[in-house]
Amino acid sequence: MEKVRITFLGGLGDIGRNCAAIETESEILILDCGQLFPDEFMPGANSVLPDLSYLLDRSEKIVGCITTHAHEDHIGALPYLLEHISLPIYGSSFTLGMVRNRLEERQLLNNCDLIEVSDGDKVTIGQFACEFLPVTHSVPSGLISAIQTPQGLIVHSSDFKLDLEPVDGRLTDLDRIAELSKNPGIRLLLCDSTNSDVPGSTISESDIGVSLEKVFKSNEEKRIVTACFASHIHRVQQIAQTAVAAGRKISTLGLSMKKNVTLARQLGILDIMEEDLIDIESIQDYSPDQICVISTGTQAEPRSALAMASAGESRWITIGEQDAVILSSRSIPGNEDRVGRMINNLMKRGATVLHADHLGLHTSGHGNQEELRALHQAANAEWFVPVHGEYRHLVAHKDLAVEIGLPPEKVYLATDGDQIELSDDGLVLVEKVTSGRYPFVQGKILEHEHQVFSERRILGNEGFVVASVEIDNEENVILGDPKVTSKGWVNVHIAQDLEEEIARAIKEGIQKALLQKDATDEYLEQRVRRITGSLVNNLTGRRPMIVPIVRKL
């Protein structure tokens, strides 16, 4: 039979920018197109994207993109794809609602057809017969995709957990997976690895409601300010339900919370009565015990609603002793310090702060080992590739699959850029198709070269010194005195004397250099750099960026 290639363009080795291409001779079906939020190694970047060049180079083959759910790491890079090509996008109504909002902002809605699919739907996309099954996660309406290819059925778990009591009653359809495993059988399973190194099972999202009730009760007199991810509609639902039961009005804080609550209410997946919802501007009209604010900013992102409030910079809310702040989320690794600072600030303002890590106020959207085990057992796939995880998670997931009974040679540990091929003979790695240098966005610019980050790290840690010299081209002598200025190197009152000393040394050194016959521009620039750099180092023991400028007039 015709061979099928699967190319992993992101999401295997880092959690984020999930994107894969399933490809036959004539067609490509894209599975998710997400972004990654940059870490401290990419200072100043706003977003990191999958390497989309593989797709753009083969755009005529693309038949569509499946969006498995509404998280940024699955849909956030779609605008960058749609800037270049138009294509149909498939997903649940909530996922497509979020996609639509995002594309509207960028005026890209005309470049795609948004095609809604529901639980259990069977849709043919190009030559791929697809079936979509419900899956529980920390965002509503996620979909498992079962994709029929010339090389058999490929099942993608999406971000997956087995919540037996989901807030919306919509269970992960393991029964259908088990049916598919018998007829026609699952050739390849691609499964979420995020929590593959965590034993046991996650607690149900519904359990959070019980913890919330307790916390609301013990803070009866206070105004309650909660924060959770804006896309976590089921968490919002539980907070709202608890608040209304306690006789409180609900107000949203933060633009994305307001947008998502509006969208989810429109779609009928969030139940908050109109009379229970008030505008944030009206919260002062009520006593503290009558209000529950639902805010963004659980990760203390700069400029986020709760971070601003904790710093006393919010236009909408002043945090004080009357407030109990509930952080209903886990700190994403890397954000702990920032979240810690925000909690300090909230407490300094007199607020009581209750954090999810201690009080059962949060549960993960990704299944632990027991849940993954259940999926593997139901799927009984011939081949398995762990996806959606850092490398350690992918390895832990492989170990788990092998422990359950999958032969080690049937598990392929792929990383970003790997292209694998399914043929009648099995699964093999074909090649690595991307460089590993991922495109990133800063402001309005899409870039590929990562050099800027090492420069930025030097600038951030050491500052810079600019040394400029003007040379009379005819006389071959220095015009006036060299100028040395700096920023972020040492404080101004110290810098002034040092800069003058460096300028004198440059004058002396360059005058000597000019005596040599054919002193080229490059040579003179190098001399200025050397003289400045060594003196800077001698005088201060620092290594700021040196910017030499030689102008011949």
Question: Torsions phi, psi of 170, nearest 5?
Answer: -95, 105
Binding mask 23-52 for Zn ion (x = CB under 5 A): ------------------------------
Nearest distance from C-beta of residue 4 to Zn ion, angstroms: 24
C-beta pairs of 342-349 under 8 Å, 24+ apart in sequence: 342/297, 342/300, 342/306, 342/307, 342/310, 343/310, 345/310, 345/311, 346/309, 346/310, 346/319, 349/310, 349/312, 349/319, 349/320, 349/321, 349/323
**Contact 170/155 with Cβ under 8 angstroms?**
no
Q: Which is nearer to Zn ion, 231 or 419 (CB)?
A: 231
d(CA 63, CA 89): 9
Nearest distance from C-beta of residue 143 to Zn ion, angstroms: 12
- Angle separating helix axes 255-266 and 233-245, nearest 10 degrees: 90
d(CA 304, CA 297): 5
Nearest distance from C-beta of residue 121 to Zn ion, angstroms: 20
Nearest distance from C-beta of residue 10 to Zn ion, angstroms: 11
Nearest distance from C-beta of residue 159 to Zn ion, angstroms: 3
Q: Which is nearer to Zn ion, 141 or 201 (CB)?
A: 141
Residue 471 in tokens: 């040379």
Q: Which is nearer to Zn ion, 27 or 32 (CB)?
A: 32
Non-local (6+) Cβ contacts of 496 within 8 A are: none
Q: Is 156 in the site for Zn ion (CB under 5 A)?
A: no
Q: Between residue 62 and residue 81, which ones bind Zn ion under the rule CB under 5 A?
A: 71, 73
Q: Which is nearer to Zn ion, 32 or 382 (CB)?
A: 32
Nearest distance from C-beta of residue 449 to Zn ion, angstroms: 27
Best CA proximity match to 276, nearest among 268, 286, 165: 286
Q: Which is nearer to Zn ion, 159 or 382 (CB)?
A: 159
Nearest distance from C-beta of residue 292 to Zn ion, angstroms: 26
Q: Between residue 214 and residue 233, which ones bind Zn ion under the rule CB under 5 A?
A: none
Q: Which is nearer to Zn ion, 96 or 503 (CB)?
A: 96
Give the type of residue at 409: E
Q: Which is nearer to Zn ion, 75 or 305 (CB)?
A: 75
Nearest distance from C-beta of residue 68 to Zn ion, angstroms: 8
Q: Which is nearer to Zn ion, 71 or 258 (CB)?
A: 71
Assign 473 to helix, strand or coil.
coil
C-alpha distances (whole Å) from 279 to each of 229, 275, 316 are: 19, 11, 10
Nearest distance from C-beta of residue 491 to Zn ion, angstroms: 45
Residue 395 in tokens: 């390895």
Helical segments of 324-413, H only: 336-348, 356-359, 369-379, 391-404
Non-local (6+) Cβ contacts of 13 within 8 A are: 390, 391, 394, 415, 416
Span between the terminal Cα atoms of the chain, in Å: 72
Nearest distance from C-beta of residue 44 to Zn ion, angstroms: 24
Q: Which is nearer to Zn ion, 139 or 212 (CB)?
A: 139
Tally of CB atoms within 10 A around 348: 11
Assign 213 to helix, strand or coil.
helix
Q: Which is nearer to Zn ion, 71 or 235 (CB)?
A: 71
Which window, 91-99, 157-165, 181-189, 541-549, contacts Zn ion (CB under 5 A)?
157-165
d(CA 548, CA 528): 6
Q: Which is nearer to Zn ion, 171 or 466 (CB)?
A: 171
Which window, 151-159, 255-263, 509-517, 537-545, contacts Zn ion (CB under 5 A)?
151-159
Q: Dihedral (C-alpha) 340, 341, 346, 348: value to the nearest 10 degrees?
A: 120
Non-local (6+) Cβ contacts of 288 within 8 A are: 221, 222, 223, 322, 323
Which window, 155-163, 183-191, 209-217, 450-458, contacts Zn ion (CB under 5 A)?
155-163
CA dihedral sign of residues 44, 49, 54, 60: negative
Nearest distance from C-beta of residue 192 to Zn ion, angstroms: 7
Nearest distance from C-beta of residue 294 to Zn ion, angstroms: 20
Nearest distance from C-beta of residue 20 to Zn ion, angstroms: 13
Q: Which is nearer to Zn ion, 366 or 398 (CB)?
A: 366
Assign 343 to helix, strand or coil.
helix
Which window, 153-161, 236-244, 269-277, 390-398, contacts Zn ion (CB under 5 A)?
153-161
Which window, 152-160, 210-218, 421-429, 431-439, contacts Zn ion (CB under 5 A)?
152-160
Best CA proximity match to 542, nearest among 485, 459, 456: 459
Q: Which is nearer to Zn ion, 73 or 416 (CB)?
A: 73
Q: Which is nearer to Zn ion, 160 or 384 (CB)?
A: 160
d(CA 186, CA 198): 26
How many Cα atoms within 13 Å fall on the side-chain side of residue 489? Answer: 26
Nearest distance from C-beta of residue 351 to Zn ion, angstroms: 30
Q: Which of 23, 131, 159, 418 binds Zn ion (CB under 5 A)?
A: 159
Tell me, by CB under 5 A, how many residues bind Zn ion: 3
Give the type of residue at 534: S
Pairing of strands 249-253, 323-327: unpaired
Note the residues at the interface with Zn ion (CB under 5 A): 71, 73, 159
